[in-house]
Amino acid sequence: MSVEQSPEHEPSEITYAEHYHPARPRSLRHRARVKSPVPRRSVTQDGEPTGTNPAYVSWLLSQSMLADANEIARQFSGSGTMWQNPFANPGPRQAVETASVWFTAYPLSLITRPDESFLAALADEDLWKAFSDIGIEGVHTGPVKRAGGITGWRTTPSVDGHFDRMSTEIDPAFGTEAEFRAMCGMATWHGGTIIDDIVPGHTGKGADFRLAEMKYGDYPGIYHMVEIEPEDWNLLPEVPPGRDSVNLDAATEERLEKSGYIIGRLQRVIFFAEGVKETNWSATAPVVGVDGVQRRWVYLHYFKDGQPSVNWLDPSFAGMRLVIGDALHSLADLGSGALRLDANGFLGVEKSTEGLPAWSEGHPLSQAANHLIGSMVRKLGGFTFQELNLTIDDIKQTSEAGADLSYDFVNRPAYHHALATGDSEFLRLTLRTSLDLGVDPAALVHALQNHDELTYELLHWSTGHRDDLYPFRGAPTPGEEIAEAVRADLVAALTGPEHPYNLIFTTNGIACTTTSAIAAILGVPRLDGIDDAVRARIMRAHLLLAMFNALQPGVFALSGWDLCGILTLPPSEVTALLDHGDTRWINRGAHDLMGADPGATRSLAGMPRGRSLYGTLPEQLADETSFARQLQAILAVRRRYGIATSEQIDVPDVSHRGTLVLVHRLAEAGTLHVGVLNFANEDVTATVRSEHLLPGSVVTDMFTDREVGVVDDLLGFTIDLEPHQGHSLLVTAPPPEEVRP
């Protein structure tokens, strides 16, 4: 009896959903590493919301971050898993190897399918296929846990873009914990990593703060808060009706300092506003404690009054326990692989000599706390990065014991300045100064646009080294004058009547998108007048900036505003959001990465849709000339030659002021990467010279594998560049016997 042969089976491409089926091997299945997730208890709301009502206290405890921290910490104590990873020293290159290209999301601005949550959209398999095609390996979600406060039985909204966290639970506005875990699993399946946030500097006025006000257990130890004796309540201002606290004026701050309650004024008042925030201290209204005693407190807040500061050196160590527990939850329960540390430069405060402000910035306790956080995350196999604007010296110092990576606020305004002026002098100065001070570019996150403004604080030059002299525009120039000149150049090039679509943001920078900044630099008077020819010029300059950030050691980060080429919103579309002076809302237009809802005019959170110059990712990936496809080519070169983990060894002088040359030593012996970028809006024949180039070395275009030159006896070669064009070149040394002395 013969058996008819069946046709040969054609294997189908397995989907994530198929592979995620429980039948697959456990080693391939994403799962939380805790024995059991943090329980989410529903407690009945019954009676008056006061400290003497056990039902109210239980309701608060069910939402407490410290309670969750205690629960999750017990699952790791005594476990061998806590000793499997090195943790003492930051590992920037290991972090870069884990995920060297990041997509930085902004929950409020992502357009999703109707009724689809932000987290569900980021767990979409087609999105991760697109990310993988382009070369994106990590996603930074931004803060997605519950934020804001609690008043009585009701919750109040966030006062600072969800950076006033009050719970370890995912905010339902963004999705569910199950969707977060699914997103982490999808990232793992595609070889990627999810980067979450913790906020070690403060919380919101949630359950933990309300329990602290009631003097429940260890809770007052979480915060920099001081109980004021009733006989001294006359020193405190009255709290207006409808408020739970009031900011202290400078006179009251001084009286309380002299009375021995608080340490008084700090080095600066962030978000200073007369009559709103004149000091960093606020007084609570009378609060009934769990013991029935009525109390008033004065508490510290570096930022807004809804963001009470965490005390990292209270004898209870309750604040430290809360923050570490939040990190454990994100990494081991939800499944993220890395964390951003927000507001992590303000973790120590100490009284100074009489008459001087308290020591609140650059305090050793901040460094120690960051070391503890970074070490705990590394113990769990993750990594951290800090998004804090620092001087180059401080970046160097914090990189020795704190976060694994730091955001590159040094070169970010400098590369915009190079494009705005057609002169790379200041950019070369920032790059060289970083190298001279020992900052490894591989320890930095080099980014295009994120949710914030284009910052031009230039702290290294305007504060820490304001009086130091640097070569600039033909003469030794003080750092402070350089900073003023650069800021003036950026303001003139990007804002004003000629470019009304970009706006100044307080004293920090300019509210703009990458594409709207380039439009201003190119002299575009109106965004609605951009045609295909201007769009092509904007894209060309945009790709140049991408090459600068991507073709050097470290992480390269970009956002949906970059991927889709989103322009700024007309101020008239976000009038209510601009009322408080925060102009950054114009650069946060909603965008639809995947064409999820072509007819949507707003995101689920209500942000108006911004105009896209490049289109959705599916549209771009179908067009070989698109921004995404050309970015894909840049990232393929970055990956093929290991540029992300190379060593930056030279930023040489240039033959044309608009060009920039970067020299990197690659892992393969005898090979160098040379990036040549033209920030000028004109054709340039650039002469590239560096003492690291050997005569006779062959110069090859990394994109085409075509030989384009040979290093001459003067240690150089020439290359032609079109306006706003970049080249990525492989320089291969000749065999030793052929090297000419």
Q: What is the pLDDT of residues 505-553, one digit of tens each?
A: 987 899 999 999 999 999 999 999 999 999 999 999 999 999 999 999 9
What is residue 13's predicted lDDT score, i.e. its pLDDT? Answer: 53
Single out the residue in 263, 283, 300 at which a domain terminates. Answer: 300
pLDDT band at 24 (very low <50, low <70, confident <90, very high): very low
Q: Distance (Å, rounded) from C-alpha 654 to C-alpha 390?
A: 28
Q: Distance (Å, rounded) from C-alpha 712 to C-alpha 698?
A: 10
What does the block give as tokens for 663?
Answer: 């020299």
Q: Distance (Å, rounded) from C-alpha 723 to C-alpha 583?
A: 32
DSSP 3-state assignment of 310?
strand
Residues 601, 577 within the same domain: yes
Are the C-beta atoms of residues 558 and 577 closer than 8 Å to each other?
Answer: no
Q: Enter the DSSP assignment of 202.
A: B
Contacting residues for 450 by C-beta, under 8 A, at least 6 apart: 104, 106, 557, 559
Q: Distance (Å, rounded) from C-alpha 450 to C-alpha 327?
A: 23
Residues 575, 653 within the same domain: no
Residues 600, 482 within the same domain: yes
- In a domain, residue 446? The reply is yes
Residues 573, 618 within the same domain: yes
Q: Enter the DSSP assignment of 307.
A: S
362 or 49, which is more confident?
49
162 or 706, which is more confident?
706
Residues in a beta bridge with 698 = 710, 732
- Judged against a pLDDT cut of 60, whether residue 43 lies above it is answered with yes
- In a domain, residue 257? The reply is yes
Average the pLDDT over 79-106 and give the result.
91
What is residue 39's predicted lDDT score, i.e. its pLDDT? Answer: 73
Average the pLDDT over 722-731 and give the result.
98
- In a domain, residue 75? The reply is no
- Least confident range from 9-23, 163-177, 231-245, 422-436: namely 9-23
Q: Distance (Å, rounded) from C-alpha 556 to C-alpha 632?
A: 13
- Please, what's the b/e burial string for 437-474 (b: 16 or more CB within 10 A of its CB; e: otherwise)? eebbbbbbbbbbbbbbbbbbbbbbbbebbeeeebebee
Q: Enter the DSSP assignment of 350.
A: B
Residues 625, 687 within the same domain: no
- Judged against a pLDDT cut of 70, whether residue 25 lies above it is answered with no
What is residue 30's predicted lDDT score, i.e. its pLDDT? Answer: 35
Percent of the chain predicted with pLDDT > 70: 95
Contacting residues for 26 by C-beta, under 8 A, at least 6 apart: none
Closest CA to 325 of 184, 200, 207, 202: 200
Average the pLDDT over 33-54 and give the result.
83
What does the block give as tokens for 172?
Answer: 């339902």
- Judged against a pLDDT cut of 90, whether residue 389 lies above it is answered with no
- Judged against a pLDDT cut of 90, whether residue 579 lies above it is answered with no
- In a domain, residue 632? The reply is yes
Single out the residue in 640, 659, 681 at which a domain terminates. Answer: 640
What is residue 602's predicted lDDT score, i.e. its pLDDT? Answer: 96
What is residue 205's predicted lDDT score, i.e. its pLDDT? Answer: 98
Are the C-beta atoms of residues 341 and 386 closer than 8 Å to each other?
Answer: yes
Q: Enter the DSSP assignment of 230.
A: G
Task: Give the residue numbers spanning the domain of 697.
Answer: 647-732
- In a domain, residue 278? The reply is yes
Q: Distance (Å, rounded) from C-alpha 217 to C-alpha 714?
A: 73
What does the block give as tokens for 204?
Answer: 């919101």
Single out the residue in 300, 329, 360 at which a domain terminates. Answer: 300
422 or 344, which is more confident?
422
What is residue 9's predicted lDDT score, i.e. its pLDDT? Answer: 43
- Judged against a pLDDT cut of 60, whether residue 224 lies above it is answered with yes
Are the C-beta atoms of residues 739 and 682 closer than 8 Å to each other?
Answer: no
Q: How many residues does the chain have?
A: 741
Residues 632, 707 within the same domain: no
Residues 667, 602 within the same domain: no
Residues 421, 551 within the same domain: yes
- In a domain, residue 350? The reply is no
- Quickly list DSSP for 550-589: HSSSSEEEEEHHHHHTBPPPPGGGGHHHHTTS-GGGGG--
Q: Distance (Å, rounded) from C-alpha 160 to C-alpha 172?
A: 17
Contacting residues for 172 by C-beta, under 8 A, at least 6 apart: none
- In a domain, residue 532? The reply is yes
pLDDT band at 18 (very low <50, low <70, confident <90, very high): very low
pLDDT band at 464 (very low <50, low <70, confident <90, very high): confident
pLDDT band at 75 (very low <50, low <70, confident <90, very high): confident
Count the domains in the chain: 3
What is residue 35's predicted lDDT score, i.e. its pLDDT? Answer: 66
- Judged against a pLDDT cut of 50, whether residue 680 lies above it is answered with yes
Residues 671, 622 within the same domain: no
Residues 494, 562 within the same domain: yes
pLDDT band at 33 (very low <50, low <70, confident <90, very high): low
**Which stretch of DSSP H or E encloses residue 484?**
helix 479-494
Which pTM does this prediction carry? Answer: 0.91
What is residue 19's predicted lDDT score, i.e. its pLDDT? Answer: 47
Q: What is the mean pLDDT of the chain?
A: 92
DSSP 3-state assignment of 4?
coil
Residues 631, 700 within the same domain: no
- In a domain, residue 64? The reply is no
Strands 149-151 and 245-247: unpaired
Number of other CB atoms surrounding residue 607 within 10 Å: 23
Express each pLDDT in 266-313 by its tens digit: 998 888 888 889 999 999 999 999 999 999 999 999 999 999 999 999
The CATH number assigned to the domain holding 718 equals 2.60.40.1180
Residues 636, 654 within the same domain: no
